[in-house]
A and B are shown apart, each in its own frame.
Chain A
C-alpha cells in the first residue's frame, strides 16, 4: 500500500469521518439525548462495533453498490468519493437534508455518465427502491416493537427503577447491534467505490486473515469510528429535537433502525430468505437517518393520535426532497469534478 494510494483514499476516509460524525447520532442519539447512556460510552461502543461490522460483514452492501458501476481507476474512485463528500458537506452547510448513501449513488451515476459506462437501471431501481423501503420498514419494525414492548411492560409491571435499568441495557445492546449494522451497511458508501480499483492483496495479522477488500473496509471503519467521537452535537440534536421520545421509544427507534440496516446488509439473512423461496433482499447501503425518521414515525403511530400530533411532518417532506436533490447534485458534482481532475490535474479517472 503506497502513499499515492493513501492520498487517493483520503477522500473516502474523509467521507467516512463525516459519516461517523453524523450517523453515530442515529445509533445512540436517543440514548445520549435522554441521558440514559453517557457520550463517551456511546462513542466507544459505536467505534468498536462499526469497525467490526465493516470488516466482518461489509462485503454484502459493497457488492450491491458495485453493481451500479465498477470504478476502474483509483483517480476516479477518489474523485467520486470527493464529489459525494463535497455534496454532503455543501448540503449540510446549506441546511438541506442529506444522505451519504444517496450522495455516493449520485456520484457513481455521474462517473458512469462521464465514462460512458451504461448505468445498470435494474440495480439503480433496486437501490432507489430501498430508499423508500427503509423508512417504511423502520416504521413497521418500530410500530410492532413498541406495541409488543408496551404490552410486555403492562403485563409484567416492572418497578420504575428496574425498567430504567432494563432500558439502559436495551440501549447499549441495540446501539451495539446498530453500530455493527451501520458499519456493515454504510462502509460501502465510504470505500465501496475503491474496491474494484484498489487491487489489494490478502494480509494476515497473526491468526486474523484479511482480504484486500476487508483491509479497505477496516480503514474505512476506523475513519467512521473516529468520526463517532465527534458526534456529540448531532447526538444531542437527534436525541432531543426530532421528537419527544420517552426512553422506551428511544430503545425501539434504535432497535428498529438496527434491524433495517441489518436487513439490507446481511448475506446470511439473504441466503435464508432465498432458501425459503422468497425474493432476495437487495444488499445495498441505505440511509440510517431515514430509517431513524421512519422508526420515529412508527413509534408515533403506535401511540395513536397523541403520537401523530407530535410528528414533525416537515422532516418527512424533507426526506422526499432529499431523494431527488441529493443524488442529482452529487451526479452533477461528480461529472464536473471528474472533468477537472482528468483535464486540469491530468489524472486517470477511467481505467481500461
Chain B
C-alpha cells in the first residue's frame, strides 16, 4: 500500500514543516531586504548592509533547496494529486521573489547609486509598500494551506500595497527626473526604483494566482 507506507503522518508532518520553513525563508528574506536597503539609503554600503546581503543570498539558496525537495516529494509520493500543480506553482512564484530579492540587493551592491537626501524618504515609502506586498502574499500563502477561505482576506491587502508601491514609485521617478541630477544618475536611480516596484508586481501576480488556487480548494 504505497499510499500509506512508512509512518505516513510523520512524513506528512515533515513535508508540512518544510513548506512552513519555505514560507519563513521568503518572509525573513524580505525583512532582511527591507532593513538592508533602508540602511543603505541612510548610510551607504556598510558592513551591516553587507551582512543583510549575505543573509538574502543564504535565504535564496535555502529556498531553492526546499522548493526542489518539496517538488520531488510531492510528485514521487503522489501527494496532493488534485492540487500539486497549484502548490508547486505557488512555491515557484515565491521562489522567484527570492531570486528577485537577491538580484536587487546584488545590483545595489554593484551599482551603489547615490540617493539624494530629498529622495530618500519617498524611496523608503516605495520600499515599505513593496515589502509589505510580499509579506501579505506570504500570509495569504499560509492561509491557503490551512484555511483557503481566508486567503481572500489577504488578497485586498496585497492589491492595496501593490497599488501603494506603484504610486509611490511613480512619484519618486517624477522627482528624480525633476531634479538636477545627470541623465546617467537619473536612469540609474529610476532603475533601482523599478527593481523595488517589480517585487510588488510579482507578489501581486502570485496573489492573483493564489486567489484562483484558493477558489479551487474551496469546499
Q: Which residue of chain A has its CB nearest to the CB of B18?
A: A161
- Do A157 and B146 form a contact, CB below 8 Å, given A38-B2, A172-B3, A246-B219? yes
A164→B147 CA distance, assembly (Å): 14
Listed by A's residue number, 8 A-B pairs whose Cβ atoms lie within 8 Å are: A34-B81, A153-B219, A154-B147, A157-B147, A160-B87, A160-B144, A161-B19, A161-B80
Query: A210: CB under 8 A from chain B?
Result: no
Q: Which residue of chain A has its CB nearest to the CB of B11?
A: A165
A41→B1 CA distance, assembly (Å): 6
Query: A215: CB under 8 A from chain B?
Result: no
Query: A48: CB under 8 A from chain B?
Result: no
A246→B15 CA distance, assembly (Å): 22
Binary interface profile of B, 15-37, with partner A (CB < 8 Å = 1, else 0)?
Answer: 11001000000000000000000
- Do A161 and B79 form a contact, CB below 8 Å, given A168-B3, A248-B219? yes
A161 touches B2 (CB 8 A): no
Chain A nearest CB, measured from B207 CB (Å): 18
Chain B nearest CB, measured from A142 CB (Å): 14
Query: A150: CB under 8 A from chain B?
Result: yes
A159→B81 CA distance, assembly (Å): 15
Binary interface profile of A, 149-171, with partner B (CB < 8 Å = 1, else 0)?
Answer: 01001100111111011001100
Q: Which residue of chain B has its CB nearest to the CB of A153?
A: B219
Taking beta carbons and an 8 Å cutoff, which residues of B are in contact with A? 1-4, 8-9, 12-13, 15-16, 19, 78-83, 87, 144-147, 149, 217, 219
The 8 closest A-B pairs by CB, nearest first: A35-B81, A157-B147, A160-B145, A165-B12, A157-B146, A161-B12, A161-B16, A159-B16
Interface centre among B8, B79, B217 (most CB of A within 10 A): B79
Query: A37: CB under 8 A from chain B?
Result: yes
Q: Which residues of A contact B8 (CB under 8 A)?
A: 165, 168
A46→B30 CA distance, assembly (Å): 51
- Do A36 and B219 form a contact, CB below 8 Å, given A41-B2, A41-B3, A160-B87? no
Q: Which residue of chain B has its CB nearest to the CB of A37?
A: B3
- Do A158 and B146 form a contact, CB below 8 Å, given A165-B12, A169-B4? yes
B149 touches A172 (CB 8 A): no
Q: Which residue of chain A has its CB nearest to the CB of B149?
A: A154
A153→B148 CA distance, assembly (Å): 11
Chain A nearest CB, measured from B87 CB (Å): 7
Q: Which residues of B contact A38 (CB under 8 A)?
A: 2-3, 78
Q: Which residue of chain A has its CB nearest to the CB of B143?
A: A157
Q: Which residues of A contact B1 (CB under 8 A)?
A: 41, 172
Q: Which residue of chain A has its CB nearest to the CB of B146?
A: A157
A242→B82 CA distance, assembly (Å): 16
- Do A159 and B4 form a contact, CB below 8 Å, given A153-B219, A164-B79, A246-B219? no
Q: Which residues of B contact A165 (CB under 8 A)?
A: 8-9, 12
Chain A nearest CB, measured from B152 CB (Å): 14
A165→B15 CA distance, assembly (Å): 12
A159→B80 CA distance, assembly (Å): 11
Binary interface profile of A, 209-225, with partner B (CB < 8 Å = 1, else 0)?
Answer: 00000000000000000
Contact with A160, one of B4, B81, B146 (Cβ below 8 angstroms): B146
Q: Which of A30-65 contact B (CB under 8 A)?
A: 34-38, 41
Query: A247: CB under 8 A from chain B?
Result: yes
A246→B80 CA distance, assembly (Å): 11
Q: Which residue of chain A has its CB nearest to the CB of B216?
A: A246
A168 touches B4 (CB 8 A): yes
Q: Which residues of A contact B12 (CB under 8 A)?
A: 161-162, 164-165
A158→B12 CA distance, assembly (Å): 12
Interface centre among B3, B15, B83 (most CB of A within 10 A): B3
Q: Which residues of B contact A154 (CB under 8 A)?
A: 147, 149
A168→B2 CA distance, assembly (Å): 11
Chain A nearest CB, measured from B130 CB (Å): 28
Q: Which residues of B contact A35 (CB under 8 A)?
A: 78, 81-82
Q: Which residues of B contact A160 (CB under 8 A)?
A: 80, 83, 87, 144-146, 217
Q: Which residues of B contact A37 (CB under 8 A)?
A: 3
Chain B nearest CB, measured from A7 CB (Å): 38
A168→B8 CA distance, assembly (Å): 11
Q: Which residue of chain B has its CB nearest to the CB of A159?
A: B16
A35→B84 CA distance, assembly (Å): 11
Q: Which residue of chain B has its CB nearest to the CB of A42?
A: B3
Binary interface profile of A, 234-255, with partner B (CB < 8 Å = 1, else 0)?
Answer: 0000000000001110000000
